[in-house]
Amino acid sequence: MGNALRFLCGQCCKPTAAGDSESLGHHGVSAATVGVSALAHDIFNFEITSQVPEGLSKHVVPSKKAQANWYRTLLEAWRESKPPPKTPEEAARLIIETLKRHQKADVEGLLFFYGLPLPSTLVELTAGAPTSLPEGVQYEFETLPVDAKAVADGDTVTVYVNTTDPRESSCVLGDVQLAAVQRSQARAQKNYAKADALHKKIIDSGYRVLNFQNNEEILCRRYRIRLRGIDAPEGGMPYGEEAKEELTKIIQGKRLRVLAYGNDRYDRCVADLYCNGKFVQEIMLKKGAAWHYTAYDKRSELATWEKQARAKRVGLWASPNPEKPWDWRKNRREGR
């Protein structure tokens, strides 16, 4: 069994406290853990015991022998997935694809058992990552894994790029490089006050030292990204928090491919983002988590994706007349 499954089981599938029956989901664990971690737990348990979870038969028709065949197939699919599913949508897609030859009702029953999205709620994506740079792209780069705390709202995120990247290495300021070396020396000498002061200097210059596994420290450049072509509800607006959560779910812990078109008046990098080959703006629009920002982007596909979300009344379009973010900001500026 791969380390990914063991990690999920160890971190996410801790037993529910005895007597806490009201918090139990269909799977028999706390509602907070129903989903990816519960599925990982059961696949891991199946490999050891060859037993399917209790209670599954209430949601699907086939016998336990048939259910065992499902889990055997899912085990192989999970092992082969790189990386393994981390979000409910990724887990749902793995189940749907792996068991696509089975009855729809049984697949949906299995998804319901784990509290995972049903096929009708999943977004079908059409735009893959480009094989050549589109017109207008000034440069591209790959980020380090994105921290959830770096997502400001549904269309803005702060990312970091390793300065050993060829594009970055040639333009790191000498003062920043020197400060990074001196900070490392100060920490080795346990002079943490000096190390913190040097790190502040590094941060003020647009960089940061990040800690990774095995206490490896990496000097990184900071980029504040404004997703090109979409405008998500602001934090103080209806659906603002949901839009932020949606973007976080898509990119948290992932390395992003960034196609940069330049900077806006707030010195943010205006860019298209791709996560595991998927166009982030497409996902946000199809889920009704953002508007097509027509004032700055005329791409017809963005208009189409917004129209599809409107027709399905998903996300912010569940409201009959949602306020446009640009109107909301204007009203705030004018004190209305």
Q: 181 and 101, same structural domain?
A: no
- Do the beta carbons of residue 294 and residue 306 sit within 8 Å? no
Q: In total, how many domains does the chain have?
A: 2
- Do the beta carbons of residue 284 and residue 154 sit within 8 Å? yes
Q: What's the CA gap between 268 and 272, in Å, rounded?
A: 13
Q: 251 and 151, same structural domain?
A: yes
Q: 169 and 62, same structural domain?
A: no
Q: What's the CA gap between 21 and 24, in Å, rounded?
A: 5
Helix (H, G, I), strand (E, B) or coil at 173: coil
Q: 195 and 77, same structural domain?
A: no
Q: 231 and 308, same structural domain?
A: yes
In tens, the pLDDT along 220-246 reads 999 999 999 999 999 989 999 999 999
Q: What mean pLDDT is predicted for residues 212-216? A: 75
36 occurs within a structural domain = yes
Give CA separation, 223 vs 146, 199, 237, in Å.
12, 17, 26
Q: 238 and 198, same structural domain?
A: yes
- Residue from 226, 228, 246, 257 carrying the catalytic annotation: 226
Assess whether 208 carries a catalytic annotation: no
Q: Record the tokens describing residue 70, joined without a space.
A: 């499902």
Q: 326 and 224, same structural domain?
A: yes
Q: 155 and 89, same structural domain?
A: no
Residue-number span of the structural domain to which 109 is assigned: 3-121
In tens, the pLDDT along 10-65 reads 444 443 333 333 334 444 443 434 688 889 999 999 999 999 998 898 888 888 89
Q: What's the CA gap between 68 and 36, in Å, rounded?
A: 19
Q: Among 121, 154, 171, where does a domain finish?
A: 121
64 occurs within a structural domain = yes
- Residue 308 pLDDT level (bands cut at 50, 70, 90): very high
At residue 19, the pLDDT reads 38
Assess whether 268 carries a catalytic annotation: yes
Q: Among 56, 88, 121, where does a domain finish?
A: 121
DSSP β-bridge partners for residue 252? 146
128 occurs within a structural domain = no
- Residue 119 pLDDT level (bands cut at 50, 70, 90): confident
151 occurs within a structural domain = yes
Q: 281 and 153, same structural domain?
A: yes
230 occurs within a structural domain = yes
CATH of the domain at 164: 2.40.50.90
At residue 296, the pLDDT reads 93
| Phi-psi map region of 174: left, alpha, beta (phi>0 left; psi -120 to 50 alpha) | alpha
Assess whether 234 carries a catalytic annotation: yes
130 occurs within a structural domain = no
162 occurs within a structural domain = yes
Q: 260 and 206, same structural domain?
A: yes
- Residue from 89, 108, 234, 282 carrying the catalytic annotation: 234
Q: Record the tokens describing residue 318, joined without a space.
A: 């569940």
- Residue from 246, 268, 282, 306 carrying the catalytic annotation: 268
6 vs 158, more confident:
158
Q: 7 and 68, same structural domain?
A: yes
Q: 152 and 289, same structural domain?
A: yes
90 occurs within a structural domain = yes
